[in-house]
Amino acid sequence: MKRFGRYLLILIVLQGVVAPPVDKKKKKEDDDHKEDVPADFGLEYDRYLQEVVRTLEEDKDFAEKLRNVNVDKIKSGDVAHELQFVKHNVRSKLDELKRWELERLRKATREAMEKQELGLDREAVRVPNHVDYRNPHTFEIDDLKKLIIQATKDLEKLDEKRNEEFKTYEMEKELQYREHLKNLTEEERQKEQKHHDEMIKKHKEHPKIHEPGSKQQLEQVWEEQDH
């Protein structure tokens, strides 16, 4: 997905929601290859979501409307009504994407039912909320609305989970640090505390790397595109 496409995705469903955190352990990859790698938002329907956005991006008029639309209108799914103005060829591609997604869901449901019959997973069969499965033929306003609303809800839940995991990690790290201090001499403890304080200060003063999907990064992207 092109650069603008990735941030159009964020603009549609991630406004106010934190995207996947930057993995600081991963090695920096070649920018040319990185542009082609789709983001992993942790959703079961990730590919469908991103393909829908990629397709909608082909209609430049629709993309321009999204750039100026009210955030609340996006998160409520009301922006989906703009779908009626999308070009016919784009609508046809969306129809095809929906048929693929429904087929994927049918296969997943069959596998889930088999597991359920074996007693392996009693909660595996679930009704999809991100697509209007009652209409298996065409991608309509309800499909886009359901996709936006469900993706926003799911991403907010994932973000809350990540925040809790990060808080737990920070607490464990602090406890380990305190335990480590107990095993040091007074001189070693003072050096360690000094180093610890310096690292905290350095971290606070270091320029922040904007996480994907953050308001600051979106502003940075739009600014770069304007120049």
Q: What is the pLDDT of residue 120?
A: 57
Enumerate residue ranges in the chain where pLDDT < 70.
1-40, 116-125, 206-227
Q: What is the pLDDT of residue 122?
A: 53
Q: What is the pLDDT of residue 131?
A: 94
Q: What is the pLDDT of residue 156?
A: 83
Question: Is the pTM higher than 0.95?
Answer: no
**Burial annotation 81-107 (CB, 10 A radius, 16+ → b, else e):** ebbeebeeebbebbeebbeebbeebee
Q: pLDDT digits over 143-196, tens only?
A: 999 998 898 888 888 888 888 998 999 899 989 988 988 888 888 889 988 888
